[in-house]
Amino acid sequence: MKSRPRHIVPQELELKLSLPGADPVDLVKRLTHLPALARRKSSRQSLMNIYFDTPDQALRQQGVALRLRRVGGEADPRWLQTLKTSSGERSALSQRGEWESPVAGPALDLAALAHTAWTGIDPDGRLFATLVPCFVTRFERTLWLVRRRDGSVVEVALDIGQVEANHRLAPICELELELKAGDPAALFDLARQFGHGLAVLPANRSKAERGFLLAQDTLDRPQRAQLPALILPLSQLELVQRVLREMFAQFSQNLETLGTSDDPEVVHQARVGWRRFRSGLRLFGKTLAVVKPPSWLELQPVLAGLGALRDLDVAVTETLPAFADGYTMGHAGRTHAWQAMLIGLTQAATMQRQLVCQTLQAPAVGLCLLALTEWLENLSAADPTGRVQKGALRRWARRRTRRLQQRMVQVQESADSLQQQHRVRILAKRLRYGVEALRDLLPRHLAGAYSQQATQLQSSLGLSRDVAQASVLVAALELDPHIEAYLQGVVVGFRAGLVTVR
């Protein structure tokens, strides 16, 4: 019989949801009228949290958060000290170690960390001595306790307030569903019930992460790919889960950021995240044959909107500036027409961005993202085969990427039309995404060669397509037909090899 562990690490299992477009003023009322919370009593708390770290953020780098929480007002406060640890993987469903202790006041207490993970993080107390306050969160929390017929218990928390860091402020408006007892499926089931009456999006960032980003003035920056570490041994579906989870997190995080940022790169990275996710599904197609993902049909309006917005952004900020001088040639009339065209495209991009944000507020979009999140979280549990030997996974990765490379070269050799060249570009992206995802399993020289080949092809074929697309967008404005004709001439020049851009 196996011996029992000495210490059981207390775990917090939580599903976090953002509420796009919601008015914080009437959120409590709206939630109370939803069937899942109807006739359930609620309670309210005023919470203020101070988060601590070293000046070089040693805790954050290890996925650790340490905070002091004041419950209630300044007149009669109650103080709690909380230590949280995480795996570092990004998902709206987070499972973290959590240790909470009452403390005397607004000062960290080393003794309260004695029987926690802190003893392994900072065995001699030197790290503790360097901790400083980093940022503060203040919010009103409304709580409901949902006891379900299946025996599961979920605490629902609506948090409305703000993060404060370095004289910067960012709003907090989110739902947290914490499992107190029962099966994790209860979290997603309850989230779906909310999602039928309220727009919700899976949220990957904790308040702690948002606070650190705000302190660095990087909260609304685009989320780029963060390739997961594939530490072997892994089962096949554990490998798939780690890769796809990161890809999907890039997509969903940038969707959330769209609500607060006009940066064109946020749109670009959202589309990159989705393309990487779709490429990942193809990459692991045979493995996923028995655990197929749910439909993403309800995402099509969002994806189409993002594509249209990206075309406008690229035309205004990247493609057209390179050809302005060639058209205007110092001619005042042409310069005026070119500027009018840019203004028209910029206004169209602004309207399209607003439309995308409105589309994200459709409940069906959030429900679709929730379904994909739940599917991803359940992937590894569906694998009956167990861990796979390192050599087998490495051989599979080499074979899979080699097939992608050979397919790309085969199509490239016969690509003599714009449509076929676009197909080559798509295959180049798939190869690059696949190599990036499996880099830890591939020989370094092979990964480097494949990635370089794919990147060069993608770049060389991209500009011609972008100019052609810009020509279509300009024609839709119906301003100056001479600009459209000029751009169409540039496209012909690209095809004939007569036009190049340094």
Q: Are 79 and 105 in contact (CB under 8 A)?
A: yes
Question: Prior bond to 233 cis, omega within 30?
Answer: yes
pLDDT (tens digit per residue) in 401-441: 999 999 999 999 988 877 888 899 999 999 999 999 999 99
**Of 216, 212, 295, 309, which Cα lies nearest the Cα of 255?**
309
**Of 201, 489, 236, which Cα lies nearest the Cα of 386?**
236
342's CB contacts (< 8 A; 6+ apart) are: 316, 320
Chain mean position to CA 387: 28
Return the pLDDT at 437.
93
Q: Are 178 and 190 in contact (CB under 8 A)?
A: no
Q: Are 164 and 137 in contact (CB under 8 A)?
A: yes
Return the pLDDT at 1.
33
pTM above 0.85, yes or no: yes
Return the pLDDT at 5.
41
Q: What is the 3-state secondary structure (H, E, C) of 294-331?
A: CCCHHHHHHHHHHHHHHHHHHHHHHHHHHHHHHHHCCC
What is the C-alpha separation between 62 and 153, in angstroms, rounded? 31
Return the pLDDT at 75.
82
What is the C-alpha separation between 494 and 491, in angstroms, rounded? 5
Return the pLDDT at 499.
60
Q: Angle formed by the axes of helices 418-437 and 264-283, to 10°? A: 80
**Of 199, 238, 271, 179, which Cα lies nearest the Cα of 189?**
179
Q: How many CA atoms lie within 13 A of 241 on its CB side?
A: 20
What distances in angstroms separate CA 184 from CA 102, 154, 372, one per listed residue? 28, 9, 15
Residues of the chain falling short of pLDDT 70: 1-8, 383-387, 495-502
pLDDT (tens digit per residue) in 324-369: 999 999 899 999 999 999 999 999 999 999 999 999 999 999 999 9
